[in-house]
Amino acid sequence: MYPREKWGAGQSAGKLKAIALLMTITFSLEATAQVLSTISLTTSNTTLNTMYASDVFLGESVYRSNTTQDALSYLSGVTSSSTMGGAATEAYRYATVAFPALTSGTYTFGQSSAPVDTVIYVYSGAFDPSNLSQNFLTGNDDYESGIAPLATIPSGVAIGTCSSTRQCPIVKTTLSSGQTYTIVVSHWGSYAYDDFSLPLGIFVYGPGSVTFVQSGAQVLDSVTAMMNSPATGAARSIDSSPSLVALFAGAGLSGDRAISNATTQTLPLLTGGSMVAASSALSGINRVIQARFEANRGMSSGNAFIGDRNVWAKPFGSWAEQSDRNGVAGFKADTAGLAIGADGAVNDNLRVGAAFAYAKANVDGSSSIAPHDANVDVYQLIAYGSYALDERTEVNFQADVGQNQNKGKRTIAFTNTTASSSYDSQTAHVGVGLARSYPLNAKTTVTPSVRADYTWIKDDSYLEKGAGLLNLDVDSRSTEELILSLDGKISHQVDTQTSMSANLGVGYDTLSKRTSVTASFAGAPGAAFTTEGISPSPWLARGGAGLTHVTAGGTEITVRYDAEYRTDFLNQTASLKANWTF
């Protein structure tokens, strides 16, 4: 064989053009079978790119032919065109194709046809034309039976012509399951530049089937065509990964709608809406606490403090429903919980108390395309109190901290897998209100109030399991809300043992913004993407009604119904409270 100089490192990455087509070859595979996968690179699925020896060779390391074994070996320290025998003036064309290895083992790569004498290279991961030695595994110039790296032509492979039969290159190397590889084909010197053209025939022969792919904008194109804006970030990440492109290509998806729906199935848990569900559970707990200090000085008939010291328990349940909004599927959340607490008078003006609340929320996404569900365990420690400014006016306050334990599942139908997650959240809340009562008569009182509530929720980062390449590595995130509200309450004493109350109010969240979550696929760890979720309305309306009865034994029993409404969102809460005075 002849010494043949090939290209090495140093080419500008800008010369590598984008390729935008998926190519899929499907094969059956038995446990011990050797599988032949082939592809014909044509103008419909690849492009010919150019690199110039003047950029590549001088001052760089290159691969060149080894005359002993006809295999390319690494030659470092090329310093001048004379070292390369005049090669510095030459230009080279090349074409690429990528694939993920689904089965570990030894594979044979080769060329079955080309218009000229060619060379083949195999790279682990991506091919960078500006750094040709990066990720390089193996390469070869020609094929000759009995000369390394092959002794025989693989069964089922028909060697065509690459200028001549023996000039169709063949190499052998070991691949690892889950790793993406790239095949690069070029030619032997500038004399073949004008003749190096498509089609190019390539085969891979080994223990597992191979799906060849050309990275491009196929998934993003489908998502854009279906106006599926929440999935655009994920689509870009998928298109950047040959492994994920191959996963989509091999899933038998037909048409833009099917590809777009499959992309929706890859999005993070509840499309980032899990925080909205957690916030609704916290608001139910806060309403329980507010009912305690609203009662000071008799301002909340039906929720009144009786005596100086009280112990109370309040089981509650809530039902929240978020309709589809901003192109994002909504959810339903059912919550059940229990709050227990104690409070008492410090002096004539100040009352303080403490409480613990636990709630469990079951959240089901409303999308039939991408079913999601989550379970949230909520734990809250709460301090609260009120201070009487005069006999009709009070300031009330509340502070609480807590932790949520979240478990989620995403059903990915097109791969028949389920992504499972488990992570914690930290929560904090402070609130302050000012209320003044106005008696209408001996039995009826009206109490207007103003209030400010700040809530903070932070989700920890987490890594999903169960969905292979589509597992998500989700970044930590946080959300805040600051609700300024105006409420009015009317209470009426029916008799000495029974009272009724009703309230109505409006609020505005000054920090309201669209939810979002940043994540990356296991199959594309370096391509993080952000998914935009629901943008809740900043305006809210809320109201409620309660009935309280004091038993002959002195136990106060209260039943209540409360509701909070935002555009496309409704949260309803029912509760039963028992209060004992001592």
Average pLDDT of span 93-122: 84
A 10 A CB-CB count for 20 gives 15
Tokens representing residue 182 in the block: 């790239």
Which sign, positive or negative, has the C-alpha torsion 473, 475, 478, 479? negative
Residue 298's pLDDT is 47
Q: Which residues contact 356 (CB under 8 A, 6 or more apart)?
A: 339, 340, 341, 379, 380, 381, 382
Closest by CA position to 435, among listed 366, 368, 503: 503
pLDDT band at 36 (very low <50, low <70, confident <90, very high): confident
Tokens representing residue 551 in the block: 């038993």
For residue 426, the SS3 value is strand
Average pLDDT of span 493-506: 95
Q: Which residues contact 59 (CB under 8 A, 6 or more apart)?
A: 10, 78, 79
Cβ pair 544, 560 in contact under 8 A: yes
Residue 75's pLDDT is 38
Q: Which DSSP string corresponds to 480-500?
A: EEEEEEEEEEEEEE-SSSEEE
> Could you read off the pLDDT of 113-171 as tens digits, one per residue?
888 878 888 888 777 666 677 788 887 777 765 555 555 666 677 777 777 766 788 88
The tally of CA atoms less than 13 A away on the side-chain side of residue 421 is: 32
Q: Which DSSP string corresponds to 95-152?
A: EEEEEE-SS-EEEEEEEEEBSS-EEEEEEES---TT-TTTTEEEEES---TTSTT-SS
Residues in the chain: 582
pLDDT value at 421 more than 70: yes
3-state secondary structure 525-552: EEEEEEEECCCCCCEEEEEEEEEEEECC
Tokens representing residue 387 in the block: 């201070």
Could you tell me the end-to-end alpha-carbon distance of the chain, in angstroms, rounded to an integer? 103
Cis peptide before 115 (omega within 30 of 0): no
> Could you read off the pLDDT of 326-345 as tens digits, one per residue?
889 999 999 999 999 999 99
Lowest mean pLDDT among 103-117, 185-199, 533-547: 185-199
Answering whether pTM is above 0.75, one says no
pLDDT value at 84 more than 60: no
The tally of CA atoms less than 13 A away on the side-chain side of residue 216 is: 20
Strand pairing partners for 509?
Answer: 483
Average pLDDT of span 541-558: 93
Residue 32's pLDDT is 39
Q: Give dist(CA 300, CA 280) in Å, integer.
A: 24
Q: Give dist(CA 415, CA 521) in Å, integer.
A: 14
Residue 293's pLDDT is 67
Tokens representing residue 256 in the block: 């833009």
Q: Give dist(CA 510, CA 125) in Å, integer.
A: 47
Question: Comparing 106 with 29, which gets the higher pLDDT?
Answer: 106
A 10 A CB-CB count for 368 gives 9
Residue 562's pLDDT is 93
Cβ pair 211, 29 in contact under 8 A: no
Residue 301's pLDDT is 36
For residue 170, the SS3 value is strand
pLDDT band at 44 (very low <50, low <70, confident <90, very high): low
pLDDT value at 11 more than 50: no
Cβ pair 182, 125 in contact under 8 A: yes
Residue 90's pLDDT is 58
Cβ pair 564, 542 in contact under 8 A: yes
Q: Give dist(CA 552, CA 514) in Å, integer.
A: 52
3-state secondary structure 345-403: ECCCCEEEEEEEEEEEEEEEECCCCCCEEEEEEEEEEEEEEEEECCCCEEEEEEEEEEE
A 10 A CB-CB count for 217 gives 17
Structure-token match 């409070």, residue found: 343
Tokens representing residue 78 in the block: 């090329």
Phi, psi of 520 (to 5 degrees): -140, 150
Residue 76's pLDDT is 38
pLDDT value at 497 more than 80: yes
Task: Give how far Cα 46 sits from Cα of 23, 27, 138, 448, 545, Å.
Answer: 10, 22, 22, 71, 68
Amino acid identity, position 119: V
Domains and CATH numbers, the chain: 5-206 (no CATH), 218-264 (no CATH), 271-581 (2.40.128.130)
Tokens representing residue 86 in the block: 């005049």
Share of residues in the chain with pLDDT > 90 (%):
48
Cβ pair 116, 195 in contact under 8 A: yes
Strand pairing partners for 140?
Answer: 71, 120
Q: Give dist(CA 328, CA 334) in Å, integer.
A: 20
Phi, psi of 220 (to 5 degrees): -60, -40
Question: Comparing 544 with 523, which gets the higher pLDDT?
Answer: 544
Structure-token match 């409704």, residue found: 570
Closest by CA position to 45, among listed 26, 16, 24: 24
Q: Give dist(CA 20, CA 15) in Å, integer.
A: 16
Residue 383's pLDDT is 96
Average pLDDT of span 547-551: 94
CA 463 to chain centre: 10
Average pLDDT of span 461-490: 96
Q: Give dist(CA 527, CA 239) in Å, integer.
A: 10
